[in-house]
Amino acid sequence: MDFTYDDEQDALRDAVRGLLGKAYSDFEQRRQTCKADPGFSEQVWSQMAEMGLLGLPFSEEDGGVGAGPVEIAIVCQEIGRVIAPEPYLQAVVLAGGLVQACGTPEQRQDVLGALAGGERLLAFAHDEPGSRWAPTASAVTAGQNGDSWSLTGTKEPVVQGARADQLVVSAALPDGGTGLFLVDADATERTDYPTYDGGRAAQVTFDATPATPLGEPGRDLAGSIATVQDIARVMAANIAVGAMETALRTTSGYLTSRKQFGVTLNTFQALTFRAADMYVSLELATSVVSWATMVLQTGDVARVRDAAARAGLQASRAGRHIGQEAIQLHGGIGMTAEYSVGSYTAVLTALDHLLGDGDHHLVDLAGSVADHGAIDPLAVG
């Protein structure tokens, strides 16, 4: 039982903090980056590739680094601290994670190598109108003609779908189940738009678009999608922890500097007590998210699923609390796009709804509440 990083992990954190902290040391830099297409910095993305961050989760034979969940979580927390707009979670953890989990050796080497090198941006095209975080697809269908496959239907919203070079697409299979396909992004019809968290998303339409099955053709991959979603839930929660830390630190700093009635705001207990409650939310969420990250190390699918729901629930509750209070304790300035805290709240809101919000996770957990007595977080199979 150890919640601390080892020396190498400390060094990784410092390096990532050096890169992203420098790139977005001033909130205005992030704001300008988000304003211009593609909504993130290609330069920072290349630097992340050079540092090996884009290949962190993948095995060395696939062109990656072979690092574990703790290392990926470190990157995610640092992304959250400055709400870096680079699509790490989408491209590396989700799309890359699916290729790693389901791809053939040739596909893994080709796709993950290019992703890790920063030469090819991946996006996971999964959400469909009406869908709510299920690991299955229905609006996009796959058709088979001999050995060739094609997709038809619409995916939306696809984060960074317009900028992506290659899409990992989920689709309903002819014989039932959900398959995954690699699609050349240029072969699709894409409509791009900005999202409230500073990023970009797209509607992606397939019309008998040629597609390559990921892994063995025709196989139902819903289980793998669910597991990669669970891993991404824990990583999204790690980003949220980083963002919440900054939101709270920014708020505390503001309370000690902003003056009204001739005194700084921290003179008012009504405000400092609310900041204290934000700290409570942050500490509790940090504990569950760190624990869930360690559960990922076990690789046990059922435990990962449970831990992802628990981290997702806690991060959702804390993210809303801290995000809302950060704006309120700032007052009017917190409402402006020029000042940082509002954007932190926007990012926390996006993370909350990316892979299942608190209530979604709570429904899952409530469904299994009768299956156990008390929870033992130290029980390791």
Partner 1 sequence: MQLALSPEDQAFREEMRTFFTTVVPEEIRTKVLEGRELSKEEIAGSMKLLDDHDLAVPHWPEEWGGRGWSDLRRHLYLEEMQAAGCPVPLAFNASMIGPVLAQFASQEMKERFLPKTRSCEIWWSQGFSEPDAGSDLASLRTSAVRDGDDWVVNGQKTWTTLGQYGDWIFTLVRTDPEVKKQAGISMLLIDMTSPGLTVRPIELIDGGHEVNEVWFEDVRVPGENLVGEPGQGWTMAKFLLGNERVGVAPVGATKHALARAKQLVGDRLREPLLAARVAELENELLALELTALRVVAHSADGEPHPASSVLKLKGTELQQAVTELLVDLAGPAGLASGTAEGALPDWVHRTVPTYLNYRKASIYGGSNEVQRQIIARTILGL
Q: Summarize as ranges the residues that interact with partner 1 (CB under 8 A).
A: 1-5, 9, 70, 248, 252, 255-256, 266, 269, 272-273, 275-277, 279-280, 283-285, 287-288, 290-291, 293-295, 297-298, 310, 313-314, 362-363, 365-367, 369-370, 373-375, 377-378, 380
* CB half-sphere exposure, 356, CA atoms < 13 A: 27
Minimum distance of partner 1 from residue 251's CB (angstroms): 9
Q: Between residues 140 and 296, which has the closer beta carbon with respect to partner 1?
A: 296
Which two three-digit tokens encode residue 21? 């902290």
Three-state secondary structure call for residue 110? helix
Check if the beta carbon of residue 209 is closer than 8 Å to that of residue 178.
Answer: no
Phi, psi of 12 (to 5 degrees): -60, -45
Instruction: Determine which helix (DSSP H) or strand (DSSP E) holds 240, and give its type and residue range.
Output: helix 222-257
Nearer to partner 1, 122 or 289 (CB): 289
Q: Judge contact between 234 and 73, C-beta under 8 A.
A: yes
**Distance between CA atoms of residues 197 and 209, nearest Å:** 30
Strand partners, 357: none
Specify the 3-state DSSP secondary structure of 332. helix
Is the Cβ of residue 232 or residue 313 nearer to partner 1 in the bound state?
313
Least CB distance to partner 1 at residue 86 (A)? 24
CB 346, min distance to partner 1, A: 23
CA dihedral sign of residues 237, 242, 246, 251: positive
In this structure, what DSSP letter does residue 289 have? H
Q: Could you tell me the smallest distance in angstroms from the CB atom of residue 261 to partner 1?
A: 16
Shortest distance in whole angstroms from residue 22 CB to partner 1: 25
Q: Which is nearer to partner 1, 81 or 310 (CB)?
A: 310
Q: Within 13 Å of residue 316, how many CA atoms lie on the same side as its CB?
A: 18
To the nearest whole angstrom, how small is the minimum distance from the Cβ of residue 183 to partner 1? 37
Cis peptide before 129 (omega within 30 of 0): no
CB of 365 to partner 1, least distance (A): 4
Between 208 and 363, CB nearer to partner 1: 363
Q: Pairing mode, if any, of strands 122-125 and 166-172?
A: parallel
Rounded least distance, CB 82 to partner 1, Å: 20
- Distance (Å, whole) CA 6 – CA 8: 6
Comparing CB distances to partner 1, the nearer of 158 and 296 is 296
> How many CB atoms are located within 10 Å of the residue 336 CB?
12
Residue 229 near residue 361, CB atoms below 8 Å:
no
Nearer to partner 1 by Cβ, of 15 and 271: the residue is 271
Nearer Cβ to partner 1 (208/380): 380
